[in-house]
Amino acid sequence: MRMYDIIAKKRHGCKLNDEEIAFFVRGYTDGSIPDYQASALLMAVCCNGMDEEECTSLTYHMMHSGDTLDLSSLRNTVDKHSTGGVGDMTSLVVTPTLAALGLNVAKMSGRGLGHTGGTVDKLESIPGFNTSLSMEAFLDQVREIGIAVIGQTADLAPADKKMYALRDVTATIDAVPLIASSIMSKKLAAGAESILLDVKYGSGAFMKTKENAAELAELMVKLGKNAGRNMGALVTSMEYPLGRKIGNSLEILEAVDILRDGERSDARYVSSELASHLYSVATGTGIDESRKLVNETIDSGRTYEKFLQWIGAQGGDPEAVDKRQLPLSPHRFELRSPVDGYIGSADTEGLGMASCILGAGRTTKEDVPDLGAGYILHVSLGQRVSHGDLLATLYTSDVMKMAPACNEILASLHITDEKPGKLPDLIYKFIH
CB 384 within 8 A of CB 342: yes
> pLDDT band at residue 23, thresholds of 50, 70 and 90?
very high
CA-CA distances (angstroms) from residue 277 to 79, 150, 270, 284? 12, 23, 11, 10
Q: Give yes or no for residue 364 having a pLDDT over 80.
A: no
What is the arithmetic mean of pLDDT over 377-391? 97
* pLDDT averaged over every residue in the chain: 93
Residues found in the chain: 432
**Where is 165: in which H helix or E strand?**
helix 158-169
What is the arithmetic mean of pLDDT over 276-292? 98
For residue 427, report the phi and psi dihedrals to the nearest 5 degrees: -125, 125
Q: Which of 61, 107, 111, 167 is catalytic?
A: 167
Q: Which of 81, 161, 229, 401 is catalytic?
A: 81
Which region among 66-70, 142-146, 149-153, 173-177 has the lowest average model confidence (pLDDT)? 149-153
Q: Bigger pLDDT: 96 or 157?
A: 96
Q: Bigger pLDDT: 152 or 170?
A: 170
Domain 331-416 has CATH 3.90.1170.30: yes
Residue 355 is a catalytic residue: no
Q: Give yes or no for residue 112 having a pLDDT over 70.
A: no
Q: Bigger pLDDT: 236 or 364?
A: 236
Q: Give yes or no for residue 221 having a pLDDT over 60.
A: yes
Which residue blocks in 284-361 are alpha helix, DSSP H? 287-299, 302-313, 318-322, 348-358
Q: Give yes or no for residue 150 having a pLDDT over 60.
A: yes
Q: Give yes or no for residue 111 having a pLDDT over 70.
A: no
With H, G, I as helix, E, B as strand and everything else as coil, classify residue 116.
strand
CB 145 within 8 A of CB 310: yes
Long-range contacts of 134-138 (CB under 8 A, 24+ apart): 135/69, 138/106
Q: Give yes or no for residue 199 having a pLDDT over 60.
A: yes
Position 428 scores a pLDDT of: 96
Position 350 scores a pLDDT of: 95
Fold of 77-322: Pyrimidine Nucleoside Phosphorylase; Chain A, domain 2 (3.40.1030)
What is the arithmetic mean of pLDDT over 373-386? 97
> pLDDT band at residue 118, thresholds of 50, 70 and 90?
confident
Residue 81 is a catalytic residue: yes
CB 160 within 8 A of CB 185: yes
> pLDDT band at residue 302, thresholds of 50, 70 and 90?
very high
For residue 98, report the phi and psi dihedrals to the nearest 5 degrees: -65, -40
Position 168 scores a pLDDT of: 78
CB 177 within 8 A of CB 58: yes
Residue 288 is a catalytic residue: no
Q: Bigger pLDDT: 92 or 368?
A: 92
Q: Which of 182, 237, 290, 412 is catalytic?
A: 182
C-alpha–C-alpha distance, residues 362 and 353, integer Å? 9
Q: Which of 79, 88, 121, 160 is catalytic?
A: 160
Say what percent of the chain tops pLDDT 90. 82
Q: Give yes or no for residue 240 having a pLDDT over 90.
A: yes
Q: Mean pLDDT: which of 68-77, 174-183, 407-416 is highest?
A: 407-416
Q: Give yes or no for residue 116 having a pLDDT over 80.
A: no
Domain ranges within the chain, ordered by starting residue = 3-49, 77-322, 331-416
Q: Which of 115, 186, 268, 277 is catalytic?
A: 186
Superfamily of domain 3-49: Transferase, Pyrimidine Nucleoside Phosphorylase; Chain C (1.20.970.10)
What is the arithmetic mean of pLDDT over 110-138? 83
The pLDDT tens digits for 65-89 are: 998 989 999 999 999 999 888 999 9
Helix, strand, coil content of the chain in percent (nearest 5):
45, 15, 35
Residue 155: alpha-carbon gap to chain centroid? 20
Residue 160 is a catalytic residue: yes
Which region among 31-40, 173-182, 311-320, 404-413 has the lowest average model confidence (pLDDT)? 173-182
> pLDDT band at residue 363, thresholds of 50, 70 and 90?
low
Q: What is the DSSP letter of 4?
A: H
C-alpha–C-alpha distance, residues 278 and 92, integer Å? 15
Residue 300 is a catalytic residue: no
What is the arithmetic mean of pLDDT over 306-317? 97
C-alpha–C-alpha distance, residues 230 and 385, integer Å? 45
